[in-house]
Chain A
Amino acid sequence: MREVITMWKYTRMVVLVALTAALYAAVLIPFKLLPLIPGITELRPANVLPVICSLMFGPAAAWGSAFGNLIGDLLGGTSGLGSYFGMLGNFWYGYFPYRAWRTLSSSDPIPWSAGRLARYFIVSLLASLACAVQISWGLDMLGFVPFHILGPLIGLNNFVTASLLGPLLLPILYPRIKRWGLLYTDVMETEDLWGGRLPYLAHLFLWGAVLGGLILGIVISLGVTESQTFTLNLPGGAHWSLSLSDIPRWGTSVGTSLMPLIGLLVVGALLL
């Protein structure tokens, strides 16, 4: 994660942060008129930008997505305490694609082949779910919208947009950006780029955090933990049952229960 700090000494990276943020906000704001949840989220075709910018501009896109979302909220009249969770969620949304891509492939992220397209979908899904879990956890904790409504909606909104538009835009934009020498690997010195510590363990942590967070968040938010029991019939007539209320949790709310998984997400991001 070191390069999200070291990038600030490169003027071109600072400019790329501003350009990504402004572009993201400029495409987000007009679509505030098509809300999915009023004041919280809307139809967002702009959601493709953090993913494709991440694969090209690296850490600049992570900051750009975070700032762009904040600016979109401030200028679109939907700012509040939730905007800070939106900022954090969008930071992950712009951070994970390029980091995860580097551990999955050494080739350029142009989804020409089936293998690269599959990898593109994997990194988009990871980033989309991380963003969804982070924002929904925060907004449920603040009492804005229940997790089970917001979580799947943000995850789906992000992933569908990035999956549909990304493979169309990247093959056109990536070669041009590469020719202009604006890829983050060209702008930044090698010693300022972070190779990652235990990246495969980080993937395990991240997928555990986002999938576990999403499922547990929905289950708790729907209030089914108190009543549901799973029973497994074992050979010899024995059976083993698990009540969802037996699952160790820090508390009864989404906010406290998901905290360990949010911690795991941060640890995964640090190790990736």
Chain B
Amino acid sequence: MFLYLPYNTFLHRLHPATKLIGLILLLVVTVAFTTPAEQLPGLGFVLGLAVLSRSLSNLRRILPLVVTIMLFSSTTWSLFRRVGVPFWSFGPLSLSRESIQYGLAMGIRLDAMLLSGMVFVSCTKVEEFAFGLRALGLPFPVSFALSLAFRLVPLFFTRIGIVVQAQQSRGLDLQTGHLLQRARKYVPLLVPIFIYAIRDTDLLAMALESKGFGMRGTRTEYLRFPFGWRDAAIIAALLAADVIAWSGR
């Protein structure tokens, strides 16, 4: 379910806030470029990070998606982007050397962003993600709700499985019919799944309040992540890359 890979690499050890800021700064760099020649080094850099964080196994899992996205994005932008002198056109569609270059650049950009996100989730635990958000100033209840939601997703998958099995034992047939027919059979299951999910709200709220949730004052943290010179250096380097990339446009 979760894509986190429990290694002890340089990227894993970074402060969670550095990972969050670094991810955004990296994504912002990719937006600055509009030609394949400019985008390829960025993609190469992200692949380098994947090797460094030993998250290539996760990248392999989404390889078909990465290829499909590349093809789709490149094709649509090549056909619809009106730049340069077209050598082929049909209605709103046209192709020029510049539009194909732009399409390729957009495909690479989208892939670079997708892979950056995958590297991030491969080396960041849910609790680190929440800690990073709090370190960046997000109020505790908001970061808590987000991390609680992350943790509840696998639980809900299990509950959905229980509901499906219970209905199947009563005769619900989810195996026959084409894709849409089978999808339609899942619709009535939304009611018990929803009720199952929501009925614990009061219990969960009481459990939280009994543990001091909502108390005012400074909170103490069980987890501690030191912010070192490496974190500062990485943020400074990425910030510089952003400035150079955007000022050179």
- Give chain A's interface residues, CB within 8 Å of chain B: 8-9, 11-12, 14-19, 21-23, 25-27, 29, 34-35, 37-40, 43, 45, 48, 63-64, 67-68, 70-71, 73-75, 77-83, 142-146, 148-149, 165, 168-169, 172-173, 176-177, 180, 182, 221-224
Given contacts A38-B69, A75-B1, A143-B34, contact A173 B195 (CB under 8 A): yes
* B72:A11 contact, CB within 8 angstroms: no
Shortest Cβ distance from B118 into A: residue? A77
Shortest CB–CB separation between residue B74 and chain A, in angstroms?
Answer: 11
Shortest Cβ distance from B106 into A: residue? A143
B166 interfacial by beta-carbon distance below 8 Å: no
Specify the main secondary structure of chain B where it touches its partner.
Answer: helix
Shortest CB–CB separation between residue B94 and chain A, in angstroms?
Answer: 9
In this complex, the member of A35, A63, A77, A221 whose beta carbon has the largest number of chain B beta carbons within 10 angstroms is: A77
Can you sample 6 A-B contacts with CB below 8 Å?
A21-B145, A25-B153, A27-B190, A71-B146, A143-B34, A182-B198
- Give chain B's interface residues, CB within 8 Å of chain A: 1-3, 24, 27-28, 30-31, 34, 58, 61-62, 65, 68-69, 72-73, 76-77, 80-82, 92, 105-106, 109-110, 113-114, 116-118, 120-121, 139, 141-142, 144-146, 148-153, 155-157, 160, 179, 183, 186-187, 190-191, 193-195, 197-202, 204-205, 208-209, 213-214
* A38:B68 contact, CB within 8 angstroms: yes
Given contacts A39-B68, A71-B149, contact A19 B201 (CB under 8 A): yes
Picked from A78, A82, A180, the residue with its CB within 8 Å of the CB of B65 is A78
* A143:B114 contact, CB within 8 angstroms: no
For the complex of A and B, 9 pairs with smallest distance between CB atoms? A80-B113, A79-B117, A22-B152, A21-B149, A26-B156, A18-B148, A39-B69, A38-B68, A81-B27
* A80:B116 contact, CB within 8 angstroms: yes
* B82:A80 contact, CB within 8 angstroms: no
Shortest Cβ distance from B103 into A: residue? A143
Shortest CB–CB separation between residue B165 and chain A, in angstroms?
Answer: 16
* B117:A67 contact, CB within 8 angstroms: no
Alpha-carbon distance A73/B153, docked complex (angstroms): 13
Which residues of B have CB within 8 Å of A39? 65, 68-69, 72-73, 110, 114
Alpha-carbon distance A154/B209, docked complex (angstroms): 39
Alpha-carbon distance A38/B67, docked complex (angstroms): 10
Alpha-carbon distance A82/B112, docked complex (angstroms): 12
Given contacts A15-B205, A71-B149, A71-B150, contact A144 B187 (CB under 8 A): no
Shortest Cβ distance from A142 into B: residue? B31
* B156:A172 contact, CB within 8 angstroms: no
Alpha-carbon distance A206/B88, docked complex (angstroms): 40
Picked from A17, A29, A68, A221, the residue with its CB within 8 Å of the CB of B80 is A221
In this complex, the member of A29, A70, A145, A224 whose beta carbon has the largest number of chain B beta carbons within 10 angstroms is: A145
Given contacts A11-B205, A77-B58, A77-B61, 20 further A-B contacts (CB under 8 A): A8-B142, A12-B205, A14-B205, A15-B204, A16-B201, A21-B145, A22-B153, A26-B156, A48-B190, A63-B142, A71-B149, A71-B150, A73-B117, A75-B2, A75-B150, A80-B116, A144-B73, A148-B80, A165-B187, A177-B198
Alpha-carbon distance A22/B146, docked complex (angstroms): 9
Shortest CB–CB separation between residue B248 and chain A, in angstroms?
Answer: 17
Q: Tell me the total A-B contact number using a CB cutoff of 8 A.
A: 191
* B198:A11 contact, CB within 8 angstroms: no
* A169:B68 contact, CB within 8 angstroms: no
In this complex, the member of B24, B142, B156 whose beta carbon has the largest number of chain A beta carbons within 10 angstroms is: B156
Shortest Cβ distance from B92 into A: residue? A222
* A14:B145 contact, CB within 8 angstroms: yes
Alpha-carbon distance A63/B142, docked complex (angstroms): 9
Alpha-carbon distance A78/B151, docked complex (angstroms): 19
Shortest CB–CB separation between residue B200 and chain A, in angstroms?
Answer: 8
Shortest CB–CB separation between residue A28 and chain B, in angstroms?
Answer: 10
* B198:A26 contact, CB within 8 angstroms: no
Given contacts A169-B190, A172-B191, contact A67 B146 (CB under 8 A): yes
Shortest CB–CB separation between residue B64 and chain A, in angstroms?
Answer: 9
* B190:A143 contact, CB within 8 angstroms: no
Alpha-carbon distance A35/B73, docked complex (angstroms): 14
Shortest CB–CB separation between residue A233 and chain B, in angstroms?
Answer: 28
Shortest CB–CB separation between residue B182 and chain A, in angstroms?
Answer: 11
* A145:B76 contact, CB within 8 angstroms: yes
Shortest Cβ distance from A16 into B: residue? B201
Picked from A9, A63, A81, the residue with its CB within 8 Å of the CB of B113 is A81
Alpha-carbon distance A18/B187, docked complex (angstroms): 22
Which residues of A have CB within 8 Å of B117? 73-74, 77-80, 83
Which residues of A have CB within 8 Å of B194? 23, 169, 173
Shortest Cβ distance from A22 into B: residue? B152
Shortest Cβ distance from B147 into A: residue? A18
Picked from B73, B120, B153, the residue with its CB within 8 Å of the CB of A145 is B73
